[in-house]
Structure 1
Amino acid sequence: MTRPLAGIRVVDLTMVWAGPMGTRLLGDYGAEVIKVESPRQWDLLRALGLIPRDVPRWYNRSAYFNHNNRNKYAISLDLAHPLGRETVLALCAKSDVLVENYRSDVMDNLGLSYEVVRAVNPDIIYVSMPGHGKTGPEKDYVAYGSNVEQLAGLVSISGYEDGEPMKTGFSYGDPMAATALVGAVAMALRKRRLTGAGCYVELAQRENLTMFVGEHLVGYSLTGELPRPMGNRHPHHAPHNVYRCAGEDRWVAIACESDEQFRALCQVMRRPDLAEDPRFATATARKQHEHALDPEIEAWTRQRGHHEAMHLLQRAGVPAGAVLTTPELVADPHLRATGAWVAHTHPDAGTWEMEAPPWVLSRTPGHIRLPAPGFAEHNDYVFRELLGLDDARIAELYRAGVAADVPDESLHR
């Protein structure tokens, strides 16, 4: 079945998470994504994880790498070498999109700026994903998802009341930038179809994540009041929190937005008296007295499993969700029923389950058709079939160390 991005070729110069996840999503929906790694500076995700270095082709076994690089081809090219630069430009001439997430000055230093690439392919869509953008006083600063959270203002509003700032449990800026990449490429492709012209897209990860705290920025500009951390509570609604359940470290989230939902909660708890209590009878009163209300609710949730509490409340129309651990998430019957997990086999890493493409299109669904590539696995396909290089030229690339079939492992042992 035809996929939405079938026929679109992407040159993927990204590493770690934000860029690779974004290009993976493009691959999930049909784009031919070609990942380019240097024999000496290869994607460091290949080295993350408890992978014994004495296992053959250990650099192809990382769960982190394999998760973010499915549905891609892979070649090795040292872009700092003139032959590598020349070869990747030849690939750009036959491609639709280039994506890079290096520091702001790297592509210019390599002689691969937008102007240079556009000279060989005026129609190309060139996407840069620098952490701090391409201009401004901090453009050359190094950025990772963890410190982007702080710079975007997210951490300052996260955490418990009267507590210290708290970051998310992972580098939240990366997947947000990855998702934004898909939208940016889709818009640029549509523009090209309408106008015939390619374009340059700058997707600064710090600015992108700042959009997710936009209501707090607007609120401060209007009132001058600083937003404050409030844990799992809501600025207006109550009850709105996470409540301990039976068992070890088991929790359920409950979020009532109306009087009707609160009355339904009280009925399920067999505590109709709470709905009549003046402290809890209205939304305003509940918010004012939520510190007294939460223990009443938790006295009920503590007697029940988190799944049990969720189902009892949801059947009564009360928004509630069990806080799932990773094993519970993988075994979740709803996700199983909707086909959210797909078993996949990798020639080096074995068989595992991973999430299916996230957006379900009725006529052109996404599909996992390729496992994450082994290092330089598709050199022959790209060099010979796509670029038409002869044996002598390919041998020259290998002889000069521009291309290789195995990576230089000296920096990762």
Structure 2
Amino acid sequence: MNILILNSGSSSIKYQLISMPTELVICEGLAERIGSDNALLKYSTNATKLEEELAIPSHKAGLLKIADLLLDPSLGVIKNTEEISVVGHRVVHGGKAFSDTSLIDASVKEKIKNLHALAPLHNPHNLEGIELAEEIFPNAKQVAVFDTAFHHSIPAVAKKYAIPEEFYENKVQVYGFHGTSHKYVSEKAIEHLNQKTSKIISIHLGNGCSITAIKDGKSIDHSMGFAPSNGLIMGSRSGDIDHAIIFYLVETLGYSLEEVNELLIKKSGMLGLTGFSDLRDIQAAAEKGDKSCILALQMNTYRIKKYIGAYAAILNGIDAIIFTAGIGENSALIREMVCTDLEYLGITLDADKNNTRSKSLLEINKTDAKVKVLMIPTNEELEIAKQAYRLVHA
């Protein structure tokens, strides 16, 4: 069974075509920096590797490019769309409605649409991918895997906000995000630790960033909340901010609510601090002495360290911390800055190991460290494929 996985992020689309249940990857690729004139399109199979810089103005344009590559007479891996049995979609926000993987129908699409306001950088692109996939692959079953599902185990003490009960009843609560990634890498870490119980802090660092406290394989707290905008400093999202600032912007500086929303989600974070949203550009400028970029890196990692300390407290100790996703896997500098001066918690980094490139799980802590520091490449696509396969074979 061929399952096509579409993983639409805020500025990227990762995709894989996987043969299940063997988990054989037939092709994979990435469209990143979507919305720019120098977007990058990657496509690879056993026989072909393509990397092209081009304008990809929207997620829809990116999805159409990907479909063209899959069906290309010389480069493609399928002759017709009927060779795709299932299309698995990452959907960021499932609200209270979805605690598990779901077959997509009109009702599911409507519920996803109703959650657009809670994940405006993601759910619209996720739904767009679903509707386009229905057109391109009309005979395939469409399956949604929700990022919020993994976090349904968060207890009320961490899930509820300190506001009147009626708001909780109206679905105002912590939902949590990047759950597919946190689930995948934490399971890899648990397997690596090979112990009956585990206390893990999983740090997902990409254009969107989040951190999760995981006890015995279950999420018990998470940095993002009602929508995927809280917590860590991100590419263009502010993360944690005093809500009084919103009132000040509206009542004193004359911003509309729509403008404030745009500001905090699309114009803040590392972009607001430096003018760049891509960490590679920020690191390059910092190396040349750019003070705003140096400070932004310090602020970014300072925020992560605060959460590590908080989660060490609620877990009552740490067995391992995980770095994953684009930045977590590739930025030795960020890992070093996060782990510096955390000896009190038992976290000590081995500089040589930290600077080693790996496509699989890598321990980067010192040999005698009390806490394992793990770099684990996430594979949300494989996790989505496994969940989709289980659903259609249930």
State the structure with more CA Rg. Answer: 1
Query: Which is richer in strand?
Result: 2
Q: TM-score range by the shorter chain?
A: under 0.3
**Highest relative contact order (Cα 8 Å, sep 6+), 1 or 2?**
1
Q: TM-score, normalised by structure 2?
A: 0.24
